């Protein structure tokens, strides 16, 4: 096993991932505060300190395992920031806005990553510069991770942000029933990531829906800033 290769993967995937998920969670808390719920701020979660948001499994163990296992991509999550929807000024509408804040932040970070990638390639002139290559690889991974987090989190099922969006748009009686799916959040993860793809390629939501959309958005952002990868 190549130790340098593992270290490089951790540096170019895990670091961008941690930045992406921390900003994602803080965005939820900032928008919630703006809309009347200061819960996240009161609990010290409006911090960019990763230690405030670490989920031992989702932020550390799983990403490290994926890096060592050489699966080609790294995924993870942080502890969700606490949001008390009852304290929002307009709970049903504001629930949607708070939920969209996380994916929106990830798309904004993806654009920043694309700009950094374009600037790095422009300065290096495409030559073999190890430092520029490292920065470019981080920037490209940063774009990919943020776009993936944005799209993945918009799946319209609890516990994803898309589930909160759907709940806020459904009529109240249906929303109450829909919310109950959140009790089985771990089962939802397992079904989407492991069970359905094994049952049939046609049921592979990640491979057939999320991945192509992520690829298209990444290429679109990179093309937008005039970069060819």
pLDDT in tens, the chain (229 residues): 455 566 776 777 788 888 999 999 999 999 999 999 999 999 999 999 988 998 888 888 877 776 666 655 567 788 899 999 999 999 999 999 999 999 999 999 999 999 999 999 888 766 678 888 888 888 999 999 999 999 999 999 888 999 999 999 999 999 989 988 888 887 887 788 778 888 888 888 888 899 999 999 999 999 988 876 6
The confidence score (pLDDT) of residue 39 equals 96
CA distance 118 to 141: 13
The confidence score (pLDDT) of residue 226 equals 82
The confidence score (pLDDT) of residue 1 equals 44
CA distance 135 to 155: 31
* Per-residue burial over 74-112, b = 16 or more CB atoms within 10 Å of its CB, e = otherwise: bbbbbebbebebeebeebeebbbbbbbbbbbbbeebbbe
The confidence score (pLDDT) of residue 12 equals 74
CA distance 23 to 28: 9
Name 182's Cβ contacts closer than 8 Å, sequence gap at least 6. 158, 159, 163
Longest dimension (CA), the chain: 60
The confidence score (pLDDT) of residue 133 equals 85
Residue 118: CB atoms within 10 Å: 20
CA distance 171 to 181: 16
Q: Catalytic amino acids?
A: 25
| Residue 183 tokens, joined | 């009790």
């Amino acid at each position: 096993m190549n130790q340098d290769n593992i270290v490089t993967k951790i540096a170019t995937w895990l670091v961008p991932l941690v930045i992406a998920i921390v900003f994602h969670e803080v965005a939820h808390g900032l928008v919630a505060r703006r809309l009347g719920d200061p819960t996240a701020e009161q609990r010290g979660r409006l911090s960019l300190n990763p230690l405030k948001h670490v989920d031992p499994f989702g932020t550390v163990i799983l990403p490290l395992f994926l890096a060592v296992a050489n699966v080609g991509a790294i995924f993870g999550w942080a502890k969700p920031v606490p949001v008390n929807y009852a304290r929002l000024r307009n709970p049903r509408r504001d629930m949607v806005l708070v939920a969209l804040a996380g994916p929106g932040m990830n798309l904004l970070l993806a654009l920043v990553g694309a700009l950094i990638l374009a600037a790095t390639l422009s300065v290096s002139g495409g030559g073999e510069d190890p430092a520029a290559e490292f920065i470019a690889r981080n920037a490209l991974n940063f774009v990919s991770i943020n776009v993936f987090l944005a799209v993945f989190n918009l799946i319209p099922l609890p516990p994803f942000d898309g589930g909160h969006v759907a709940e806020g748009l459904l009529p109240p009686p249906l929303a109450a029933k829909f919310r109950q799916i959140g009790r089985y959040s771990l089962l939802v993860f397992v079904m989407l990531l492991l069970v359905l793809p094994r049952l049939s390629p046609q049921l592979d939501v990640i491979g057939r829906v999320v991945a192509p959309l992520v690829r298209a958005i990444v290429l679109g952002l990179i093309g937008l800033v005039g970069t060819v990868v």
